[in-house]
Amino acid sequence: MPDRLSKETTEATPKAERYEQELSRSLGLWGNVALCVAAITPAVGVFAIAPILLNMAGTGAVWALMIAGILGLSMAACYGELGSAYPIAGGDYSIVARTLGNAAGFVSLIFTGPVCAFLIPAVVALTIATYLNVVIPLDARWVGAAVIAVGTVVAILGVRLSARLVGLLLAVELLVVMFVTALGFVKTQHPLAEVLTPTVFGPHGGQPLAVGALLAAVAVAAFTYNGFQGALLFSEETSGGGRNIARSVFISLAVAVSFGVIPVLGGLLGARSLAEFTTSATPWQQFLTDTGGESFNTIVSLGIALAVTNGVMALTPYFARVIYSSGRDMMWPTPISRALAKVHPRFETPWVATLVIGVAGVILILTTDVEAMATVIGTVIALEMILVALSAIVGRVRFPGLVRPYRMPLWPAAPVSAIALAIVVLVEQSRTDQLTAVGIVVVSLLYYACYLRSRRATHMKMLDPAESD
C-alpha cells in the first residue's frame, strides 16, 4: 500500500500506533457517493430548505444557490486533497487537529459532531409531516421522531445495508425532484430574465434584493449542499484508496448543486405568481396544486415525504462516524469515550455512536424548537469551512512530504477564495446567530483547556490511518 504519511511522520510513528481496521470496508466508490448524496438529501434542499431561501431572498434564491455552489467547489478541492491524505472516519476534525492543532480540531469536532449531528437530522425530519398532512393531519414532532428511530435501527444493521436501502430510495427521491422540476419548465409562465433578476416581494410589490440579504441567504444555501464532504466519514469503509475519496467528494457536490439550482429555477419559471411562490410557507404544495389540482398535489407530496425520510435515514450513519471517531480518539471522559468507540461484533458498525445520534435527535425534536436553529447551522458550517480551508493551506506548508493521492490544482486559490467568501457570508449573518456560534467556540475551547489539554498522554489520541486492504 502506498504510505499516506510523510516520511518523517512514518518514521516517528510505529505501525502499532495506527488505528485498527474495525469497520467493514465494504463500500465502493458509488456506494460512498450514494450515502453522501442521500445525506445531502436533494429532496430536503428543494422541498424543505428552498422555501426558507425563497422567503429570505425571493427570486435571488437561485443566485444564492449558485454562489454557494462556487463556495462548495472551492471546498471540494480542499476536502478532496485532505481526505485523500487522511482517510479517517472522523472527517473534518481529524484533519483540522493534525494541521492547525488540537484546540482547533476540538472546535471542529463540536461543529461537525454534537451541533450538526444532533440538529440537522431533527430539522430535516420535522418537514416530513408537512407533506404527509395532505392525507392525514399528523404531529410533525412525533413523525420526525419515528423516522429518526427507524433510521437509527437501519444504520446499526450495517453500512452495506444502509447504502443499498438508501441508494434504492435515493433513486425514488431524485425521480421526484426531477419530475417536479420538469413541471416547472414545461409549464413556464415567466421569462428567464424576470426570474433571474434578484427580487424580493412584500406588501408594496417587488423590490431589488439587497446584497447583504443575498449573502445572508448564501449561508442557508450552503446548508443545502452540506454533506458532500461525507466521503471522508466513510473513508475507513471505502475500498480503492484515497483517490476514490476525492472522486466521491466532487461527484456528490456536482449532484447536490444540480439538484439544488435547477429545481428552484424550474419552480420559479412555472409559478403562477412569483410573489405568492416566494412568500408562501409551502410554495411547492401551492405549485403542485396550481399545476395539477389537489389529487396531483397529494400523490407528489407523498413521494416528497418518502424522499425526505430517506435523507434522515442517510444522515444517521453519516454523523455517527464523527461521534464514533471522537470516542476512539478519547475526546470525552474515559467511560463515555470507550462506549462511543464500540463496534458491533456482527454488523461491524459503530452501534453506540449511532444510538446516541438517534436518541439525541428524538429528544431534541420532541422537546425543543429545532427549526429556529436552521440559520445557526448555516453560520456554523461557514466557520467550519474556514477551518478546513485553513488546513488545506497550512497542511501544504507544514507537511510538504505528505503523500496526497489527489492534489488540488492552482493551490492555494481554492482555499483562499473559500475563506474570503465564507468570511463575507459570516459578516452578513444575524447578530443572534453570530453570538450563538461564538458561544459554541468559547465553550469548546474552555472544555479543551480545562479537560483535554492536561490529559494529552491519555486523551485526544490522534493515530495514523488504518492500512487499507
In a domain, 89, yes or no: yes
Q: What does the pLDDT profile of the chain (469 residues) look like in tens digits?
A: 333 333 333 333 344 476 666 666 667 777 778 778 877 778 778 887 888 899 999 999 999 999 999 988 999 999 999 988 888 777 788 899 999 999 999 999 999 888 988 888 888 888 788 788 878 888 888 988 998 898 888 778 765 655 666 677 778 778 888 888 998 899 899 999 999 999 999 887 889 999 888 988 887 888 788 778 877 877 777 766 667 888 889 999 998 899 899 999 999 999 999 999 999 988 988 888 888 778 887 887 888 788 778 778 778 887 888 898 899 889 999 999 999 999 888 877 889 999 999 999 899 888 877 767 767 887 898 899 999 999 999 999 999 888 888 899 989 999 999 999 889 888 878 898 899 999 999 999 999 999 999 888 888 877 666 665 5
Set of cell numbers at residue 6: 510523510
pLDDT for 457 equals 82
pLDDT at 109: 94
Report how many domains make up the chain.
1
Q: Has residue 78 been placed in a domain? A: yes
Q: With contact defined as beta carbons under 8 Å apart, do 249 and 76 qualify? A: yes
320 is written with which cell numbers? 455517527
> Considering the domain boundaries, does residue 68 fall inside one?
yes
Bridge partners, residue 464, by sequence: 18
Query: Closest Cα partner for 80 from 228, 255, 282?
Result: 228
> Is 419 domain-assigned?
yes
Separation of alpha carbons 106 and 336, rounded Å? 16
Cβ neighbourhood burial of 10 (10 Å; 0-12, 13-18, 19+): middle
Which of 173, 153, 148 has its CA nearest to residue 370? 148
DSSP string, 121-189: HHHHHHTHHHHHTTTS---HHHHHHHHHHHHHHHHHT-HHHHHHHHHHHHHHHHHHHHHHHHHHHHT--
33 is a domain residue: yes
Within a domain: residue 434?
A: yes
State which residues form the domain around 238: 25-122+168-290+370-455
Helix (H) or strand (E) holding 207: strand 205-208
Q: What is the CATH number of the domain that holds 449?
A: 1.20.1740.10
Q: Is 279 exposed, middle or buried (0-12, 13-18, 19+ CB in 10 A)?
A: middle
In a domain, 130, yes or no: no
pLDDT of residue 3: 37
Reading the block at residue 410, the C-alpha cell is 492552482
pLDDT of the residue at 161? 58
pLDDT, position 64: 93
In this prediction the pTM is: 0.80
Distance (Å, whole) CA 344 – CA 23? 9
Q: Is residue 2 part of a domain?
A: no
Residue-level pLDDT at 15: 45
